[in-house]
Amino acid sequence: MQELGTFTAHLSTLVLNTSSEEHEEVVHLAGHLDQHTSRWFGEQALARTDRQPVRLVLDMGALHLLDSAGIRSLVLLHRALVERDVALAVVTDSAHLRKLFRISGLDQVLTVRDSLEALRREGGDPGDPGDPGDPGSEPATAG
């Protein structure tokens, strides 16, 4: 895993680390994705698709706070990735975050899974609309 950077503004800090697989970039988030960090996050996450992966995965396992600005940044990132033909997936085992995705409807647009292993276990091409890794597939149920 490689550190992508740390951004601090006011009382909010977001740390991003990254790792790569053959057709996948994983961005690991820790801290706060909120009004103070969301713009920087969007820029950094979008830059990870310059090498044209098939899928960008956001690992939110260490994310402590996600507010409406953070949710908005996920929507904007999703839109930008659609134009680049890159699938966006989120992994988190947090019941709170999964509930936010369900309430906001993001779980209907993004692939949301409990773990990176569960996402990868589904296999197939994440860019193929018929595959379970595609954003249009059934989301996992929250625990």
| Whole-number pLDDT of residue 98 | 96
Q: What percent of the chain has a predicted confidence (pLDDT) above 90?
A: 75
Both tokens of 25, joined, read 């970039």
Tens digit of pLDDT for each residue in 105-142? 999 999 999 999 999 998 645 544 444 444 444 444 44
Q: Phi/psi zone of residue 5: left (φ > 0), alpha (ψ -120 to 50 degrees), beta?
A: left
Residue with the two structure tokens 């979008």: 46
The arrangement of strands across the sheet holding 12-21 comes to 2-9, 12-21, 24-33, 55-66, 87-91, 111-113
| Whole-number pLDDT of residue 123 | 62
Q: Domain 19-121: which CATH class? A: alpha beta
Q: How much is the pTM?
A: 0.83
| Whole-number pLDDT of residue 59 | 98
Helix intervals (H) in the chain: 38-47, 68-83, 95-104, 116-121
